[in-house]
Amino acid sequence: MDYGLENYSVKQIFRPIKLDPLMVKDGQERWEYLTLEGDLSVLMREDELVDIAYDIPSYLQAPVHKGEVLGYAKYYIDGKLFEKLPIYSTTEIAKIDFPFCAQKLFELWSLQY
């Protein structure tokens, strides 16, 4: 029991990070913002290494729903997958349709006069 008390301690390995927004193809909005939330504590030694890999697509295809899982943050300890936390969308983005295009065209036309 002394070995465990002397060599292991609880560490918070979750790192809050601001993720870059993703481009939305064929969406009424151009960018989707991402959120990663969590609390990840683990009992580990000082010499154990934590790596984080983000599995996120390079772009999204509309429609995008609020709260949709868009990717994962994968936490590795000494090269072994320990946990993967979901990365969520923050807004609802509809696909471009005829009424949207007509509205945008009207807005552009009305700016000229």
Torsion of the alpha carbons at 87, 93, 96 and 101, rounded to the nearest 10: -140
Give the span between the Cα atoms of 73 and 91, in whole angstroms: 19
What fold does the segment set 2-111 form as a domain?
Answer: Peptidoglycan synthesis regulatory factor (PBP3), Domain 2 (2.60.410)
Quote the tokens at residue 113. Answer: 């006069």
**CA geometry: angle at 41 spanning 35 and 45, to 5°?**
135
Dihedral sign for Cα atoms in the order 26, 28, 33, 37: negative
Torsion of the alpha carbons at 26, 24, 93 and 14, rounded to the nearest 10: 160
Tell me the per-residue pLDDT of 8-59, one tens digit each, with 9 for 90 and over. 889 999 988 899 999 999 999 999 999 999 889 999 988 999 999 999 999 9
Give the span between the Cα atoms of 40 and 61, in whole angstroms: 31
Tell me the per-residue pLDDT of 60-112, one tens digit each, with 9 for 90 and over. 999 999 999 999 999 999 999 999 999 999 999 999 999 998 998 898 888 77
Strand order in the sheet with 59-61: 31-32, 22-25, 59-61
